[in-house]
Structure formats: C-alpha cells, structure tokens
Structure 1
Amino acid sequence: MGAQIYAYLMSEDARSQANFYIAALGGEIQFLATYGEAPGTPEAMKEKVMHLALTVAGTNTLMFADSLEPVSYNRSTSISIVYDDLAEATTAYANLSQGGESKYPFALQPWGAHYGEVIDKFGVTWMITKQ
C-alpha cells in the first residue's frame, strides 16, 4: 500500500494565498471548508478556512488552513517543484517572485539543471528546478 505526502500550509489568509498560487502556477481549488460549517463556531471565525485543497502546476496538491495564531515560515522547510519545460520553470520562478524575494537566481547550474530559489510574498520558500 502506498502513501502520499502533501504540503499543508497554515496561512494568515488561505484564500488569498491559494489564489496567488493559482495565478502563479496554474491550478484550481478542489475543496474548501470554512469553520462556519462546524457547529458552534464563533461569528468572527465563520468565514475562516478550515481546510482548502488546491491543485497546482498539473496534478500537485497543496493544502491550506487559516491559522488561529500568527504564521511564521522559516527556511527549514521548502517546497520543491521540478519542471520538464524551461519556459514553464522560468515563468513559475518569475510569478512566485512577484512581491517576494529572490534568494538564488534561476539559472543554469554546474550540475546541468536550471535552478533558482525564491521566498514568495507569503514567506514560503520555493525551490524551482528544470531537469
């Protein structure tokens, strides 16, 4: 029996973050549930995202929830995305860089692949590779 691993991101604004990734990488929201769907949810929480599943860059899944406390990402965890097509990889790097910070320019590396690293405007580190 196999298993799958998905990145699950706690967010200060899951809807905005998901929509940014849809614009940057292509994709769509597959599922969205709010805390308001659970009985007894306080009014202030009802529109907050309890669970959001997003398909991006083909068939890859990212999941999100609105955090109940401040979110702080760090460099100990990154999302790595590998492309077959140089134009797609270059576009993804440029799109994810908008409003973010380029940590390592996307360029041909000595090992033969194109690689770059960016921290997007939400603080998530992306490692973009074209094999």
Structure 2
Amino acid sequence: MGAKINSYLMSEDARVQADFYIGSLGGEIQFLSTFAETPGIPEEMKDKVMHLALTVAGANTLMISDSFEPVAYNRSICLSLNYDDESEARTAYFKLSEGGESKYPLALQPWGAYYGEVVDKFGVTWMITKQ
C-alpha cells in the first residue's frame, strides 16, 4: 500500500495560473474540466475550471481549480523544486519571481546546495534547490 501526494491549488483564475507555470517551468495541461458539467451551477460559473491537471518541470503533476471564494496563500505550505542543473534552477527561480517577490535569493548555501525562495505573483511560495 502507498499513496502519492499531489499539490492542488485553489485559484482565482486557474487557466492564467496554469499558463504562467507552463511558461516558467515548462510543461503542459493534461486535463481540464469546467463547472458546466455540474448540474445546477449558476451560468456565470460554467466556464470556471473545476479541475485542471498539468505537468511542470518534467513529470511533476500540479492541479488547480477555480475557487468560489477569495484565495489567500500563506507560508505554511510551500512547493519545492529540486534541480540537478544550476542553470535550470536559476531559470525557474527568475521566471517564477516575475511579478512576484524574491524572499531569499538563489545562492550557494553552507550545506553545499543552491537554495532560493520566491513568492510568485499568485501568492504561492516556491523553494528552489540545486543539489
């Protein structure tokens, strides 16, 4: 027995957020369904994303859904990307920081790895590491 953890983000605009991650990290949308498939949904919600699955930075799955209420992220949960290549780590760091905030610059750490932290323009905190 076992389980796999997947990150599932609630969003104010899942399509835009997914496009940003694809542009920043590489990847593609694997599946997208809207609330139009749900009986009784108000007309203004029918084009909203019920479930979107995408691959990013290789074969990592990230899921996103439009929220019915305002979205607020905090630092109690972060997404961590670990790279083997310093150039790829730097590219991801800088692209994710566009329109966001650099919390900790990507730099060589005393433990021998490169580490940096960024909050993207959607409020998601990313920890970028190059071992």
Given the two structures, how large is their TM-score scaled by the length of structure 1? 0.98
| 1:51-130 aligned within 5 A | 51-130=51-130
Question: Unpaired segments of 5 or more residues in structure 2?
Answer: none
Query: What's the CA shift string for 1:95-120, capped at 9, x where partnerless?
Result: 00000000000011110000000000
Counterpart residue identity of residue 122, structure 1: F
Q: C-alpha separation between the residues in 2 aligned to 1:2 and 1:84?
A: 27
Aligned residues: 131
Say what the alpha-carbon RMSD is for the aligned residues. Answer: 0.6
Distance, in Å, in 1 between the alignment partners of 2:7 and 2:104 is: 22
SS at match of 1:39: coil
Calculate percent identity across the aligned residue pairs: 75
Q: Distance in 1 between matches of 2:39 and 2:102?
A: 43
In the other structure, the counterpart of 2:22 is 22
What is the CA–CA distance in structure 2 between the aligned matches of 1:130 and 1:68, rounded to whole Å? Answer: 37
Alpha-carbon separation, structure 2, partners of 1:109 and 1:32: 39
Cα separation, 1, equivalents of 2:37 and 2:87: 41
The unaligned stretches of length 5 or more in structure 1 are none
Superposition deviation, residue 41 in structure 1: 1.7
1:46 and 2:25 are equivalent in the alignment: no
Deviations for 1:25-70, whole angstroms, at most 9, x for unmatched residues? 0000000000011122211000000000010000000101000000
